[in-house]
A and B are shown apart, each in its own frame.
Chain A
Amino acid sequence: MSESNEEKKDEIQLIFGDKRLDGRRFDELRNIKIEAGILKRADGSCYLEMGKNIVVAAVYGPREVHPRHLQNPSKAVIRYRYNMAPFSVEERKRPGPDRRSVEISKVSREALEAVIMKELFPRSGIDIFVEVLQADAGSRTACLNAASVALVDAGVPMKGMITSVAVAKADGVMVLDPMKEEDNYGEADIPFAFLIRGGKIESIALLQMDGRVTKDELREAFKLAKKGAMEIYKLQKEAIMKKYISESVENG
């Protein structure tokens, strides 16, 4: 695929000099707001805004698994539900799971399974529910970030934290954390999720891609994602600290 910077028919211009459509630099994240522990009945919860994405995550467990036959005698089972509200997108989305949300639930669950210490809770289950209230590209990454904070808030033992961010290729340029226009009219979208431990990125927990990029572009995307993930990690950490800070002040 050869790239030309001229506008093609029924496509929109996404890059203006060194700025993007919404005025961000190529390596700039959208505004992020995270709040931990917003739901009283859940063991752990999190509210997260990432640009125009709004998601809420709730964690229950470890608890007994029903139906019984799903129990695993050697480790906990993890259930992750990614769900979009009917009003989360411009055209009403039919409620309930569809092909897309089932797939996202599966890959996100597998990303989290790598960090949760399942062996500590045989025969039990950990349920993670993430609801997308408003979607604007990269909602799976927003959901993973929220789920990760909610899991920590629930006191679930984990090897580290999951931080997720997407990189897109728009008008031939790699851009961090794409918004809707860049996702729809861009050439590729690559969501990443990293395991962060000891303040460093340890491994990749999720990597998907649609569209096409060259080897060098993927390297570039990886570099951008790593930088973005570290920024998000700081915000996740801050959100949890904020909720529990009263605990650490003058304790005995």
Chain B
Amino acid sequence: MRPIVLPGDLVATNPKVAGFGTYVENGKVYSKILGLLDKTETSVRIIPLKGRYIPSVGDVVIGIVREVSANGWNVDIYSPYQAFLPLSENPEFKPNKKPNEVLSIGDAIIAKVLNIDPKMKVTLTMKDKVCRSIRFGRIVFINPARVPRVIGKKGSMVKLLKSELGIQIIVGQNGLIWISGDRKKVSIGEEAIYVIEEEAHTDGLTDRITEFIKRRKSDVGIE
């Protein structure tokens, strides 16, 4: 069992082990956020329970276009910082088109974080095979601190959802999740994701989700 720690709790006395969610002062390691303490002999880290999404390079994110300008799109990625997608980073853009013909305000996109400058100006790219603009399907929003649980160990949870339901899922690191496929199955997938968010840090979650999907499937009456 991992105990809950609050900001300012002393978590270790060896500064070498300090990991995510901790800070060092006078050779002592303190927690800086509310979370679960994950302590091993070589490292101490805090698993956050709450908090906004802070972009980092390489993350796949789902965002909504908020503004169209002459050289790109401003995208809301549900973090403290708005992101920018330049025309040149969108392969759908052709010189004979206008930016708002490719993507306009309110469109959802799956993109990758290309670069973050020291002023936290975030640049996105769509030059990747997972990246696309979303024209169908459903987007679910969850607490970004729970995203690792929805993905599971090496993607096990997403794999489970995909194989059990035969739907397409792309998880954005910012807590937005895109699901697409048969309507009834998508609804079950959405419910399952909310269950994962709710019970994120409990034991045997994968088994319970398998059970949950089976039950919901027979309720709705598919296969």
Is A32 an interface residue when CB atoms closer than 8 A count as contact?
A: no
Is B205 an interface residue when CB atoms closer than 8 A count as contact?
A: yes
The answer to whether B10 and A64 have CB atoms under 8 Å apart is no
The answer to whether A159 and B7 have CB atoms under 8 Å apart is yes
Contacts of A62 in B (CB 8 A): 52, 80
The answer to whether B1 and A160 have CB atoms under 8 Å apart is no
The answer to whether A159 and B32 have CB atoms under 8 Å apart is yes
**A159 interface neighbour in B8, B50, B145, Cβ under 8 Å:** B8
Is B167 an interface residue when CB atoms closer than 8 A count as contact?
A: no
Contacts of A154 in B (CB 8 A): 50-51
Is A245 an interface residue when CB atoms closer than 8 A count as contact?
A: yes
Is B212 an interface residue when CB atoms closer than 8 A count as contact?
A: no
B38 to chain A minimum Cβ distance, whole angstroms, is: 10
The answer to whether A240 and B6 have CB atoms under 8 Å apart is yes
B79-107 contact mask (Cβ, 8 Å, vs A): 1 or 0: 01110000000000000000000000000
**A155 interface neighbour in B1, B8, B49, B82, Cβ under 8 Å:** B49
Is A61 an interface residue when CB atoms closer than 8 A count as contact?
A: yes
Q: Which of B97-140 contact A (CB under 8 A)?
A: 118-120
The answer to whether A248 and B52 have CB atoms under 8 Å apart is no
Q: Which of B26-53 contact A (CB under 8 A)?
A: 28, 30, 32-36, 48-52
Is B9 an interface residue when CB atoms closer than 8 A count as contact?
A: yes
**B8 interface neighbour in A61, A122, A124, A158, Cβ under 8 Å:** A158
Interface of B is mostly: loop
Contacts of B30 in A (CB 8 A): 159-160, 197-198
Q: How far is the CA of A121 from the CA of B201 in the complex (A)?
A: 27
The answer to whether B1 and A159 have CB atoms under 8 Å apart is no
Q: How far is the CA of A61 from the CA of B79 in the complex (A)?
A: 9
Which size bracket describes the interface of B in this complex? 35 or more
**A196 interface neighbour in B8, B36, B48, B203, Cβ under 8 Å:** B8
A58 to chain B minimum Cβ distance, whole angstroms, is: 14
Contacts of B205 in A (CB 8 A): 252
Q: How far is the CA of A163 from the CA of B50 in the complex (A)?
A: 21
The answer to whether A123 and B9 have CB atoms under 8 Å apart is no
Q: Which of A98-125 contact B (CB under 8 A)?
A: 115, 117, 121-125
The answer to whether residues A247 and B49 also contact, given A159-B32, A198-B30 and a CB cut-off of 8 A, is: yes
Is B2 an interface residue when CB atoms closer than 8 A count as contact?
A: yes
Is B4 an interface residue when CB atoms closer than 8 A count as contact?
A: yes
Contacts of B54 in A (CB 8 A): 121
The answer to whether B50 and A123 have CB atoms under 8 Å apart is no
The answer to whether B48 and A73 have CB atoms under 8 Å apart is no
Q: How far is the CA of A117 from the CA of B31 in the complex (A)?
A: 12
Name the CB-closest residue of A to B200.
Answer: A247
Is A244 an interface residue when CB atoms closer than 8 A count as contact?
A: yes
B170 to chain A minimum Cβ distance, whole angstroms, is: 25
The answer to whether B4 and A161 have CB atoms under 8 Å apart is no
The answer to whether B4 and A241 have CB atoms under 8 Å apart is yes
A112 to chain B minimum Cβ distance, whole angstroms, is: 12
Is A219 an interface residue when CB atoms closer than 8 A count as contact?
A: no
**B81 interface neighbour in A64, A155, A158, A196, Cβ under 8 Å:** A64
The answer to whether A244 and B82 have CB atoms under 8 Å apart is no
Q: Which of B189-216 contact A (CB under 8 A)?
A: 200-205
A193-226 contact mask (Cβ, 8 Å, vs B): 1 or 0: 0011111000000000000000000000000000
Contacts of A248 in B (CB 8 A): 1-4, 36, 201
Name the CB-closest residue of A to B22.
Answer: A157
Contacts of A237 in B (CB 8 A): 6
Q: How far is the CA of A44 from the CA of B120 in the complex (A)?
A: 24
A114 to chain B minimum Cβ distance, whole angstroms, is: 12
- 8 pairs, CB–CB < 8 Å, chain A vs chain B: A123-B119, A154-B50, A155-B33, A159-B8, A197-B30, A244-B34, A249-B1, A250-B202
**B residues lining the A interface (CB < 8 Å):** 1-4, 6-10, 21, 23, 25, 28, 30, 32-36, 48-52, 54, 80-82, 118-120, 145, 200-205
Known: A152-B34, A159-B25, A252-B201. 14 other contacts (CB 8 A): A43-B50, A61-B52, A61-B80, A63-B80, A121-B54, A154-B50, A157-B7, A157-B32, A159-B30, A160-B7, A161-B6, A198-B9, A245-B4, A250-B203
